[in-house]
Amino acid sequence: MTSQKSALEPPLGLDETAASELPEPPQHSRRTVLGAVASFAVLGLATTVLGEGLLNPPSSTEDGNFSGETLEFLIPLASGGGTDTWARFIGTELTNYIPGRPGFAPVNEPGGEGISGTNKFARSAKTDGTEILVGTASTVVPWVLGRSAVKYSFEDLKPVVVNGTGGVIYARTEAGVKGIGDLVNRDKPLEFGGISATGLDITTLVAFDLLEADVTSTFGFEGRGPVNLALQRGEIDLDYQTTSAYGSAVEGIAKEGKATVLMSFGQLDDSGEVVRDPNFPEVPTVAEAYEQLHGKKPSGEKFEAYKTLLGLTYTYQKGLWVPQETAEKAVTLLRESSEKLGADKEFQTKAAKVLGGYPLVADADMADRVRDAYTVSSSVRSYVKELLESKYNIHVE
C-alpha cells in the first residue's frame, strides 16, 4: 500500500489549501453565440420534424399482420403495481402470438389515480390497433361513480381481451367470528379496514350493505397488505384479499385458526348470475351468504348493484381496450391472437400466478358479455352514490 501511494497520490497536505481560481473567461461576441445557437436549433428542429416521420412510418395493421409495427400499451398507473405487472407480462407474451411479431412498448402514464392517462387515451389514441389501453378497477370505479374528472367512457371502447380476478372476505377469529352468522346481531360492530371507499373497496361495502352486516369501516390504509397486518395485530376485524394475495396473506393464518374465511365474492357466469369462484370451490359466495343469513335469495336494487360491481371489479376486471373506431380487421386479429395465447398450455402454466388462476377471455362472444357487464344502469349508479353519501359521508364530484 505504502509503495503505491507515492505513485498514485500527489503530495500530501494540499487538500487544506484554499481554492485558488483560474481567471474569468472573456465574453463571447454576439455573432458567435447566435451562430452556434441557431445552427443547433435548426438541427433540433430538423430532427423533431423529420425524425417523427422516419422513425414511425405509417402503419399497416389491416393486412393480416402487424409486422414492423409496435404495440403501445398505455398503462394509466405507475410502474410496479399489479396492473403494471399484468400488462407488461401479457404484452410481452401476446406480441409473440400476433402475426408479424410486432414490437412491444409499455407506456406508464400515471396521474389522477389512472384517470389522467385514460382520459388522454380516449382523447388521442390512434385507431389502427397499435395503441391499446390497459383498463383496471381504478379506472372503472370512478367511471361508474360518474366523477367529473372522468372524460372517458368504456362504452366508447372495444375490448380485445379480459381477465378476471376473485377474492375472499375473512375475519379475525378472536373478534368472535366463527362463521357467516356472526356478521349480524352483534353487540359491537365488526371493524372493516379499507383503503378508500371510492376504490375497489366499494364492492365489499355494497356486499356488506346487501347482507345488512353489522360493520363499521375505517379507511386510510396504504394497501391491502397493511390491512392484513392490522388484522393480525387485532386492530381491525374484517378484511378481503384478492385471489393472487390469498396464498401469502390469508391461507396461513386461516390454517392457524387466527382467521376465518367467510365468503368469496363469486364470479359472474355467462348469463350474469353469481356462481362460485373456481379458485374457492368450497367457499360460499356473497349471494349464498345472504341466503344463509336471511333465508331467501337476494334480489332488488342492492343485489343488482352488487352483480354490476362484481362484473366490473372482479370477473372482467382487467382488460385491453382499443378505441371504438378501430378497424374491425385489426381488432379481430388482436382478439384471435389473444385467444390463441390464452389457450396455450405452456402460457397457462407460466401465467398461472400473474393471472391469479383466471383464464384470459377473448372468445368471439366476449365483447357482448363485456358490453353487458359494462352497462351500468342509472339506478345502480344512484344507489352507490347514495350509499357513499349516507353511510360514509362521501360526496362524489
Partner 1 sequence: MLDSAMAALASLADPSLLLMLLIGTVAGLVMGLIPGLGGTGAVAILLPITFGMEPPQALALLIGALAVVHTSDTVSAVLLGAPGSASASVTMLDGYAMAKKGKAARALTLAFLSSMAGGIIGAIGLTLAIPLARPLVLSFASPELFMLTVLGVALAAVLSRGNIIKGVSAGLLGLVLGMVGTSPTTAEERFTFGSLFLGDGLSLVAVALGIFGLAEIASRASQRRGQKENITLGGGWGQGIREWLSHWTQVIRGALIGIWAGVLPGVGATAGTWLAYGQAVATAKDKRKFGKGDPRGIVGPESANNSVEAGDLIPTLLFGIPGGVPSAMLLGMLLTYGIQPGPSIITEHLDLMYLIVWSFAIASILGALFCFLSVKQLAKLTKVPFAVLAAGLVAVMLLGSFQEGGQLGDLWVMIILGVFGWLLKSTGFPRAPFLIGFVLAIPLERYYFLTDSLYNGLDWMARPGVLVFLAILVLPILWAFIKFIRARRNTNLDDGHRNERPEDDESPLKNSVWSLTAAGIFAVAFAAALISSASFSPEARLVPQLVSIGGLVFSGILLFTEIRTRLRARTASTGWTLDAGFAMKTFLWMTAFLALTAAFGYLIAVTVFIPAFLLIVARARLKVAIIYTAALYVVLLALPSLLPIDLPQGWLNTLV
User: Alpha-carbon distance 375 to 308, whole Å?
Assistant: 8
Which CB, 261 or 287, lies closer to partner 1?
A: 261
Q: Taking Cα atoms as reference points, which of 247, 192, 178, 250 lies closest to residue 220?
A: 192
Q: Is 81 in the site for partner 1 (CB under 8 A)?
A: yes
Compose the 247-286 pattern: x for residues touching partner 1 by CB under 8 A, - for all others: xxx-xx----------------------------------
Residues 378-397 that bind partner 1 (CB under 8 A): 393-394
Which listed range, 158-166, 196-204, 331-339, 366-374, lies at the site for partner 1 (CB under 8 A)? 196-204
Residues 6+ apart with CB under 8 A from 185: 214
Q: Where would I find the H helices in 234-375?
A: 243-246, 252-255, 286-294, 301-310, 328-343, 345-351, 366-373
Number of residues that bind partner 1 (CB under 8 A): 94
Question: Strands 238-242, 167-172: parallel, antiparallel or unpaired by DSSP?
Answer: antiparallel
Type and span of the H or E element at 168? strand 167-172
Please answer whether residues 263 and 180 qualify as being in contact, where contact means their C-beta atoms are separated by less than 8 angstroms.
Answer: yes
Q: Is 175 in the site for partner 1 (CB under 8 A)?
A: no
Q: Is 219 in the site for partner 1 (CB under 8 A)?
A: yes
Residues 345-364 that bind partner 1 (CB under 8 A): 350-354
User: Alpha-carbon distance 275 to 186, whole Å?
Assistant: 28
Residues 131-150 that bind partner 1 (CB under 8 A): 149
**Smallest distance from partner 1 to CB 260, Å:** 19
Q: Is 236 in the site for partner 1 (CB under 8 A)?
A: yes
Q: Is 57 in the site for partner 1 (CB under 8 A)?
A: no
User: Alpha-carbon distance 322 to 129, whole Å?
Assistant: 7
Residues 82-121 that bind partner 1 (CB under 8 A): 82, 84-85, 88-89, 92, 106-113, 115-116, 119
Residues 29-48 that bind partner 1 (CB under 8 A): 32-33, 36-37, 40-41, 43-45, 47-48
